[in-house]
Amino acid sequence: MKISLSGMMPDEILSAVNPDKPYRAKQIFKAIQSNITDFNLITNLPAGLKKNLYDNFTITGSTVTNVLRDNNSGKLSITLHDKNIIECVLLSDLKGRKTACLSTQAGCAMGCLFCKTGDNGFSRNLSSSEIIDQFIFLEKEFGEISNIVFMGMGEPLDNIEALFKAADVLNNKEGKGISYRRMTVSTCGLADKIEYMADIGQPMRLAVSLNSANQEKREKVMPVAKKFDLGKLRESLFYYQSKRNKRITIEYVLIKEFNTDKIDVKYLKDFIQGLSVIVNIIPWNPAAGLDFQTPSKKEIENFLNLLDASHIPYVVRHRKGEKIRGACGQLSSEAYG
């Protein structure tokens, strides 16, 4: 199998390719990060080097096998070299700002009951190249993207090495130069990895999928809550904030008659007490075969009124990408047409 260069830093390209002149590595890096996916189209390289590149390397190791568009969002289905299928999503807001929602694993091992990705099980971790490929393909399809959320398929902090590497490549000033402040990692609550992020000063933003601030309820829908209970999770967020001092996003999927009651708001209020957070409310998106329901408009409104009354800061995430099954929790490796 040829080695893919898209997830490599210039110095890694240098040692992998070993070109006649060291500065060639930077030229190759720059070309790849400007979304050139064919060595032939890199105009400033000598023929001999191009032949070496063709014979031994590829730029992206994966292939786009389906493109769906819906107004200002879109979804790509990507087939990996081993035939695993992943998806990534492009979201645009009203100001035209584009955000890439990238996958970090083929499937997910965390098994959250309300999530289509979790329902399909885990296949494997993605490499940094396979994460970057998604971004390159999204930009080729939809134009320049300013923000990244690692919120697609998989648990990013369960594949931390490739995740951080991909972020570093996307941040590199010789390439896309996307600032870490415009990247967000979403986790189901791996407390040990949150503390690790704090310890190493990982500059990306943090989002935590809470979904319920009651231990019993959370365990019911998120098996990971047994390993890292709410106490431990809360402790890790305090630790994170003591070191990083950054507002954390708390994701809260609203599920009909499950986590929408007055008492649920009280649990939430207690959980976030003393933390600097914004709660991101996501009405549950339907996914085939999952036994949950979206709350009615009235149930959602009632919940939002309770948040207001408790002075809990929140935003409601609108159901972007629903038509193309590109909304949160709807990504899966199933083929679609």
- Tell me which residues touch ligand SAH (CB under 6 A): 114-115, 151, 155, 186-188, 209, 211, 251, 253, 282, 284-285, 287, 328-329
From the list 101, 112, 188, 328, the catalytic residue is 328
Question: Residue 160 touches which of ligand SF4, ligand SAH, none (CB < 5 to 8 A by kind)?
Answer: none
φ and ψ at residue 294, rounded to 5 degrees: -75, 135
Question: Residue 285 touches which of ligand SF4, ligand SAH, none (CB < 5 to 8 A by kind)?
Answer: ligand SAH
328 given a catalytic annotation: yes
- Which parts of 98-157 interact with ligand SF4 (CB under 6 A)? 108, 110-112, 115, 117-118, 154-155
Smallest gap from Cβ 108 to ligand SF4, in A, equals 3
When the beta carbons of 39 and 284 are compared against ligand SF4, the nearer one is 284
Hey, what are 158's tokens? 């369960």
Range 179-185 contact pairs with CB under 8 angstroms and sequence separation of 24 or more: 180/204, 180/205, 181/205, 182/146, 182/147, 182/148, 183/147, 183/148, 183/149, 183/150, 184/147, 184/148, 184/149, 184/150, 184/151, 184/249, 185/150, 185/156, 185/157
Total count of residues recorded for the chain: 337
From the list 12, 87, 195, 299, the catalytic residue is 87
- What stretches of the chain show up as alpha helix (H) in DSSP? 10-17, 23-33, 47-56, 116-120, 128-142, 160-171, 191-200, 215-221, 224-227, 230-244, 262-272, 297-309
When the beta carbons of 187 and 214 are compared against ligand SAH, the nearer one is 187
Smallest gap from Cβ 317 to ligand SAH, in A, equals 8
195 given a catalytic annotation: no
Smallest gap from Cβ 3 to ligand SF4, in A, equals 29
Please check whether residue 168 is in contact with residue 148, taking contact to mean a CB–CB distance below 8 angstroms. no
How far is it, in rounded angstroms, from Cα 197 to Cα 72?
33
When the beta carbons of 4 and 280 are compared against ligand SAH, the nearer one is 280
Question: Mind telling me the catalytic residues?
Answer: 87, 328
- Binding residues for ligand SF4, rule: CB under 6 A, are 108, 110-112, 115, 117-118, 154-155, 188, 209
